[in-house]
Chain A
């Protein structure tokens, strides 16, 4: 029997899952909800969901690892999603990704040591008219160059530090 601790987050998940006990068809809905609560899917939550929906943890893992939206590790404060759709590719989206990874010192999918940014890619944000595009958190930035992308990311650091945004080449 997997029991989840008694905290507000875990209780939210427990309450939501209880509506779908034994209904494995609701798995994706439950995973969406749980990731919404924690920002990722911790192992104990995966086991709990499996138990409540009446499937094995490996089945749950099979489903969540199939869809690229779900993750099993926490992410940084801001998620940077560089669009690598066709229009962005043609307009140099890869260069944006390489530059950000390089300057932040992470690989694709990785999180910076200070926990500020996780750098990911996305298939297509559907803002092809503004290519190349990236999202930082929920903000969309278009018409990027590697330099402009880096300046935007620097801006988040400066905002965090509460200092004025410096002019930069």
Chain B
């Protein structure tokens, strides 16, 4: 690859790439989620079958397309025909159909509720209400193909920023755009940059925070895996704006593919001279290193992350001095989330005012959410800020699976909150969600049906946070431990009514007296469930009942004699030998031996095992 010495070189390379760019191609989602569903085997089958048929159709192995619950997903361009749940054995039929200009009915998406079948991706309700900006190129760009990225306008924002705008104008544009940090805190990105740019230190750093620790959120992984160039372009623009010459991408260690792709993308950019000395002949030097995390949730917090890059224990510190003044190794440091940086090239290209026209008064642009839980369409969705929760859950998510009732939607990761049906018409933006007792967080959105116990959910999050509390400050370390003890008691059926008040008091102290964001928001899951689902707590305490049938101390498994036909499967599978009965006779569970593992209910094909 040749080194690009100027803006003209870049444009020449783009023209070359465009002249080679195919109109017809197959885009196959190959991110982590797709791989877990066998996308690699489909890819191999495609390659083999294409060669056998002498079809010159290129296959792009891209990041995950978003519709993760239906992986592997492939889209045939230029028409945009979407096939889902593709197996290697389907590949010959798919290619046959493409070759003949037909559509392969059996792999088309059918709406689980309306039973309507859709041919084109853009018509599917899951995609229709989305506004794909940072995820927009996911399907047409192979993660490490610079040609693909250039064909789709890649690095035009960098050239514009460097040669037409300059640092001041870039920062002004980002401030105008109203872009707020996508990692959770929602701080204005432009202000952060302005502050760092104003510091006179000769050494400054920019850090991309890819320590996506919130369980249930994986948009950053998807961006790093699928569109590493977009994130890196945003980062180079940021570095140029604030005057940083060294950058770090901090990637969570649970994300091997993301680490690998970012590392490889950095090497491509170095070879092209888009990283390194004198980028595009502008005289600006900048390079990026990848740092792998060690598995600690608190390291997503900015000061803890900085400590971790310095090779220390990831403990946060008090933030009366901002990182933009004294961060990594005591130097001014800008720390931005992956998704935040991925927005930057779009803002530079289309202008801050255009960006600010999307969204609500205080929250601009789009946000990627990872939609999971008890809904039909799980996956990554990018929506304009201000869309209602109901639209996301029902129109995009397709509603609750299996005809069950909606109970809650949990947003904001472990420190977020659970919102009930009555709050579903809230517009999704930073401030509205916080007012409702939850938060935007990094964008996890987990939908829960009536079979979810809200006390158990609160306990789950508090347990998570107790384990992940770094232990530096007392309110978080000790307070959470006590909250967990109380919640344990309640789920064991040993709680008292006073416990509920104690939980609220503890929550108040922890959120007001903790040092960092982890502690300050840690009581949210408990406080929000107490606010909206208090009756469930009361039932656990007073009636010793768990209506969802989740808290094991309060439920038992029973066989319904009318439904049991004596197939004997549960007898064979019970690990405790707790089930007795002869083949073809009614079976019985010995409650003394039963460990409530649920295998019997799992294997019973006749709905004869019930939780009471």
Contact of B216 among A24, A86, A99 (CB under 8 A): A86
Contact, CB under 8 Å: B215 / A86:
yes
Query: Can you name the residue of chain B whose Cβ is closest to the Cβ of A35?
Result: B294
Contact, CB under 8 Å: B218 / A126:
yes
Contact, CB under 8 Å: B294 / A67:
yes
- A99-B597, A123-B213, A123-B254 are known contacts. Are A24 and B448 too (CB-CB below 8 A)? no
CB distance from A55 to the nearest CB of B (A): 9
Contact, CB under 8 Å: A66 / B314:
yes
Stretch at the interface among B130-138, B304-312, B479-487, B488-496: B304-312
- Asked if B374 is an interface residue, CB under 8 A from chain A, the answer is yes
By a CB distance below 8 angstroms, the chain B residues around A102 are: 575, 595, 597
Contact, CB under 8 Å: A28 / B446:
no
- Asked if A90 is an interface residue, CB under 8 A from chain B, the answer is yes
Contact, CB under 8 Å: B310 / A25:
yes
Task: Count residues of B near A (Cβ-Cβ below 8 Å).
Answer: 62
Query: Can you name the residue of chain A whose Cβ is closest to the Cβ of B292?
Result: A32
Query: Can you name the residue of chain B whose Cβ is closest to the Cβ of A123?
Result: B215
A95 to B603, CA, bound (A): 14
Contact, CB under 8 Å: B218 / A141:
no
- Asked if A106 is an interface residue, CB under 8 A from chain B, the answer is no
Stretch at the interface among B32-40, B334-342, B356-364: B32-40
Interface string of B19-52 (1 = CB under 8 A from A): 0000000000000110111000000000000000
CB distance from A90 to the nearest CB of B (A): 6
Chain A, interface size category, equals 35 or more
- Asked if B373 is an interface residue, CB under 8 A from chain A, the answer is yes
CB distance from B271 to the nearest CB of A (A): 23
Interface string of A35-56 (1 = CB under 8 A from B): 0000000000000000000000
- Asked if B410 is an interface residue, CB under 8 A from chain A, the answer is yes
Contact, CB under 8 Å: B598 / A92:
yes
- Asked if B457 is an interface residue, CB under 8 A from chain A, the answer is yes
- Asked if A128 is an interface residue, CB under 8 A from chain B, the answer is yes
A84 to B459, CA, bound (A): 13
- A130-B37, A142-B36 are known contacts. Are A25 and B311 too (CB-CB below 8 A)? yes
- Asked if A72 is an interface residue, CB under 8 A from chain B, the answer is no
By a CB distance below 8 angstroms, the chain B residues around A146 are: 597-599, 602
- A24-B311, A28-B294, A89-B460 are known contacts. Are A127 and B215 too (CB-CB below 8 A)? no
Contact, CB under 8 Å: A68 / B218:
no
Interface string of A126-140 (1 = CB under 8 A from B): 111111010000101
CB distance from B546 to the nearest CB of A (A): 14
- Asked if B433 is an interface residue, CB under 8 A from chain A, the answer is no
A130 to B380, CA, bound (A): 12
- A29-B311, A123-B213 are known contacts. Are A128 and B218 too (CB-CB below 8 A)? yes
- A102-B575, A146-B599 are known contacts. Are A130 and B216 too (CB-CB below 8 A)? no
- Asked if B221 is an interface residue, CB under 8 A from chain A, the answer is yes
- A123-B215, A127-B68, A169-B603 are known contacts. Are A26 and B37 too (CB-CB below 8 A)? no
By a CB distance below 8 angstroms, the chain B residues around A127 are: 32-33, 36, 68, 218
Contact, CB under 8 Å: A95 / B310:
no
- Asked if A122 is an interface residue, CB under 8 A from chain B, the answer is yes
- Asked if B585 is an interface residue, CB under 8 A from chain A, the answer is no
- Asked if A145 is an interface residue, CB under 8 A from chain B, the answer is yes
Contact of A125 among B213, B214, B254, B597 (CB under 8 A): B254
A65 to B518, CA, bound (A): 20
> Which residues of A, 61-108, contact B by the 8 Å Cβ criterion?
62-64, 66-70, 84-92, 95, 98-99, 102-103
Query: Can you name the residue of chain B whose Cβ is closest to the Cβ of A138?
Result: B256
Contact, CB under 8 Å: A87 / B446:
yes
Contact, CB under 8 Å: B294 / A90:
no
Contact, CB under 8 Å: A62 / B599:
no
By a CB distance below 8 angstroms, the chain A residues around B294 are: 28, 31-32, 64, 66-70
CB distance from B222 to the nearest CB of A (A): 8
A27 to B573, CA, bound (A): 48
- Asked if A124 is an interface residue, CB under 8 A from chain B, the answer is yes
Contact, CB under 8 Å: A169 / B295:
no
Contact of A131 among B291, B372, B460, B595 (CB under 8 A): B372
Interface string of B584-612 (1 = CB under 8 A from A): 00000000000101110011000000000
Contact, CB under 8 Å: B311 / A98:
no
- Asked if A158 is an interface residue, CB under 8 A from chain B, the answer is no
- A32-B292, A69-B253, A122-B254 are known contacts. Are A95 and B598 too (CB-CB below 8 A)? yes
- A122-B254, A127-B32 are known contacts. Are A147 and B313 too (CB-CB below 8 A)? no
- Asked if B71 is an interface residue, CB under 8 A from chain A, the answer is yes
Query: Can you name the residue of chain B whose Cβ is closest to the Cβ of A130?
Result: B36
- Asked if B69 is an interface residue, CB under 8 A from chain A, the answer is yes
CB distance from A123 to the nearest CB of B (A): 5
A64 to B311, CA, bound (A): 10
CB distance from A147 to the nearest CB of B (A): 5
- A25-B311, A95-B597, A147-B603 are known contacts. Are A130 and B213 too (CB-CB below 8 A)? no
A91 to B136, CA, bound (A): 30
Query: Can you name the residue of chain B whose Cβ is closest to the Cβ of A27?
Result: B311
Contact, CB under 8 Å: B255 / A126:
yes
- Asked if B170 is an interface residue, CB under 8 A from chain A, the answer is no
A98 to B255, CA, bound (A): 25
Query: Can you name the residue of chain A whose Cβ is closest to the Cβ of B212?
Result: A126
Contact of B36 among A31, A123, A124, A141 (CB under 8 A): A141
Contact, CB under 8 Å: B295 / A67:
yes
CB distance from B466 to the nearest CB of A (A): 13
By a CB distance below 8 angstroms, the chain B residues around A131 are: 372-373, 378
Contact of B573 among A122, A138, A169 (CB under 8 A): A169
A106 to B434, CA, bound (A): 42
Contact, CB under 8 Å: A130 / B255:
no
Contact, CB under 8 Å: B36 / A67:
no
CB distance from B87 to the nearest CB of A (A): 15
A54 to B374, CA, bound (A): 52
By a CB distance below 8 angstroms, the chain A residues around B3 are: none
Contact of B37 among A27, A90, A142 (CB under 8 A): A142
Query: Can you name the residue of chain A whose Cβ is closest to the Cβ of B295?
Result: A69
Query: Can you name the residue of chain A whose Cβ is closest to the Cβ of B467?
Result: A68
A139 to B482, CA, bound (A): 38
Contact of B597 among A62, A91, A98, A133 (CB under 8 A): A98
Query: Can you name the residue of chain B whose Cβ is closest to the Cβ of A92?
Result: B598
CB distance from B598 to the nearest CB of A (A): 5
Q: Which 5 A-B pairs have the closest CB atoms?
A: A67-B294, A129-B68, A85-B215, A126-B218, A124-B215
Supply 29 A–B pairs (Cβ within 8 Å), ascending by A: A26-B311, A27-B312, A28-B291, A63-B311, A66-B314, A67-B314, A69-B295, A70-B294, A85-B216, A86-B372, A86-B414, A87-B373, A87-B446, A95-B597, A122-B254, A123-B213, A123-B215, A123-B254, A123-B295, A126-B32, A126-B218, A128-B215, A128-B446, A129-B378, A130-B37, A130-B69, A130-B378, A131-B378, A133-B36
Known A66-B314, A86-B373, A147-B573; 15 more pairs at CB < 8 Å: A26-B311, A27-B311, A28-B294, A32-B253, A84-B215, A85-B215, A86-B410, A123-B254, A123-B464, A127-B68, A128-B215, A128-B216, A131-B372, A140-B32, A146-B602
